[in-house]
Amino acid sequence: MTVIGQRRLTLVAVLGMAWWFFGNLYEAVVLSPNWVQDSPAQFTRLHEFFVNTGPTLYFVPVAQLAILLIWVLWWRNRDDELKRDYRRAGVASVANVALSAYVIAVLVRRMFGEDYLSADLTATAWQWNALNLVRMVLTAVTGYYLFSAFRKLDRRAA
């Protein structure tokens, strides 16, 4: 892979991580704090609101492609100066994917499944809020190390 090609792919991955981070930030600031107050009513309104679309359409295409791109860059990199940055970004992204899989498989199913009113929604909403903060930190760490690799590549290409 050429330096210019690797630089471009790294920038695309950085932008994908920024997309994911700011989506989670929006949810953390605007949406989810409301979920812990009168949770059954809040989630009933969410179920009524998300009829034709939902957050999945925002996150799935870009975030998953960015993660795959990080792993490809980590795997294909042969440059010793970039190895540590890609490895750290890759490890943080693996942790983020594992945590996101838990959040989606367990918490989102409780909050948005067919029997959501039978779940302890307030506790689930608090857990989602806490784990979303951890996901944001992991996303920021991934983005930081990717951007570090990008800057090194950018200096070479200049």
CB 135 within 8 A of CB 100: yes
* 103 Cβ neighbours under 8 A, 6+ residues apart: 128, 131, 132, 135
State how far the alpha carbon of 124 is from the alpha carbons of 116, 128, 137, in Å. Answer: 10, 6, 20
Between 60 and 137, name the one with better pLDDT.
137
Predicted pLDDT at 38: 84
User: Which of 10-24, 27-41, 52-66, 100-114 is the least confident region?
Assistant: 52-66
Question: Is the Cβ–Cβ distance between 122 and 36 less than 8 Å?
Answer: yes
Q: Is residue 57 scored above 90 in pLDDT?
A: no
Total residue count of the chain as it appears in this document: 158
**Whole-number pLDDT of residue 74:** 95
- Contact (CB, 8 A) for 139 and 96: yes
Whether 128 has a pLDDT exceeding 90, the answer reads yes
To 10 degrees, the CA torsion angle through 156, 87, 20, 8?
30
112-124: per-residue pLDDT in tens?
Answer: 888 888 878 999 9
Give the mean pLDDT of 54-73.
89
pLDDT for residue 3? 85
| pLDDT at res. 46 | 85
